[in-house]
């Protein structure tokens, strides 16, 4: 499928969808603390999104049962909220969520510390976040998709972390997942040319140990194969002829 190019009117709707989502993320950062369950996080996200008059786009997506993916420690992505999983001091937790505003999707993820965490965990969170910003330095019309992937990979490499290969970023618009796929690791092919009006969800997932992941029996939760910690950072980004616009900040 061709990569969709949004016109000004569509871009305005994407901006608003993303602005609302970043507001939900901001509120959730204050909510996350030791003692709350991942289910409570889901209830809170769901109600914040609906209060805005929007729809949580993850809910029922291919049967996904919640409005947010809550992934703790060695869980990479797609952790399913449950009342039995209670956050503990020292955990790291990623909240990945999105919403639909007048037909337009937004998608963003943050990895947050729960109380006081180790310096090693803190570094993993920061490197994952910074790898996104390194990637989008290359997210300009005229560059190719691989420029983003390679910039992320080159930044992470010296840390010796594992870059998840089994899951990738994606185009986004009137669907949550559109073309192109956006890998976070070194690419051989240069991929499609970036053009103004593309909206992309760029989302590095980085493991403290090896890159390999496994799926739990719930069919959703992705965990690191070696049990190491994992972090995730994602924003929806608009490609322009100049600097990219990070819509979910």
Question: Which residues of the chain form contacts with Co ion (CB under 5 A)?
Answer: 107, 201, 203
The edge-to-edge listing of strands for the beta sheet with 169-171 is: 178-182, 169-171, 199-202, 235-238, 245-246
- Single residue of 203, 205, 230, 244 touching ligand MF3 by CB under 6 A: 203
Residue with tokens 């190019």: 5
215 lines the binding site for ligand MF3 (CB under 6 A): no
* Nearer Cβ to ligand MF3 (31/64): 64
- Single residue of 42, 46, 107, 134 touching ligand MF3 by CB under 6 A: 107
* Nearer Cβ to ligand MF3 (58/161): 58
Which segments of the chain are extended strands (E)? Answer: 55-56, 68-72, 75-77, 92-101, 104-113, 162-163, 169-171, 178-182, 199-202, 205-207, 213-215, 222-224, 230-232, 235-238, 245-246
* Nearer Cβ to Co ion (106/207): 106
Stretch 72-101 residues interacting with ligand MF3 (CB under 6 A): 78, 96
Neighbours of 88 (CB within 10 A): 13
Cβ at position 154, least distance to ligand MF3 in Å? 22
- Single residue of 18, 21, 69, 124 touching ligand MF3 by CB under 6 A: 69
4 to 43: interface string for ligand MF3, x by CB under 6 A: ----------------------------------------
110 to 149: interface string for ligand MF3, x by CB under 6 A: ----------------------------------------
Angle between helices 38-51 and 8-31 (to 10 degrees): 140
Cβ at position 66, least distance to ligand MF3 in Å? 8
* Nearer Cβ to Co ion (194/201): 201
Q: And the tokens for 30?
A: 């204050």
Residue with tokens 């930044």: 155
The alpha helices in the chain, defined as continuous H runs, are: 8-31, 38-51, 119-136, 145-156
* Nearer Cβ to Co ion (123/174): 174
Count the residues in the chain: 249
201 lines the binding site for ligand MF3 (CB under 6 A): yes
Cβ at position 126, least distance to ligand MF3 in Å? 21
Contacts to ligand MF3 by CB under 6 A: 58, 61-62, 64, 69, 78, 96, 107, 170, 201, 203
């Amino acid at each position: 499928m061709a990569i969709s190019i949004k016109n000004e009117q569509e871009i305005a709707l994407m901006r608003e969808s993303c602005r609302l989502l970043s507001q939900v993320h901001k509120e959730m950062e204050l909510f996350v603390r030791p003692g709350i369950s991942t289910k409570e996080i889901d209830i809170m996200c769901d109600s914040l999104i609906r209060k805005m008059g929007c729809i949580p786009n993850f809910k029922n997506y291919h049967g996904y049962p919640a409005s947010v993916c809550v992934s703790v420690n060695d869980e990479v992505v797609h952790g399913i909220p449950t009342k039995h999983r209670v956050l503990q001091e020292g955990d790291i937790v990623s909240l990945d969520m999105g919403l639909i505003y007048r037909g337009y999707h937004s998608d963003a993820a943050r990895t947050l510390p729960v109380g006081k965490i180790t310096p090693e965990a803190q570094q993993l969170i920061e490197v994952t976040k910074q790898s996104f910003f390194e990637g989008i330095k290359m997210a300009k019309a005229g560059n190719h998709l691989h420029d983003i992937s390679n910039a992320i990979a080159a930044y992470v490499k010296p840390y010796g972390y594992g870059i998840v290969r089994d899951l990738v970023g994606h185009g986004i618009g009137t669907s949550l997942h559109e073309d192109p796929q956006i890998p976070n690791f070194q690419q051989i092919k240069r991929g499609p040319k970036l053009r103004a009006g593309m909206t992309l969800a760029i989302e590095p997932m980085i493991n403290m140990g090896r890159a390999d992941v496994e799926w739990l029996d719930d069919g959703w939760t992705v965990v690191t194969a070696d049990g190491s910690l994992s972090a995730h950072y994602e924003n929806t980004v608009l490609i322009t002829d100049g600097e990219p616009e990070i819509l979910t900040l």
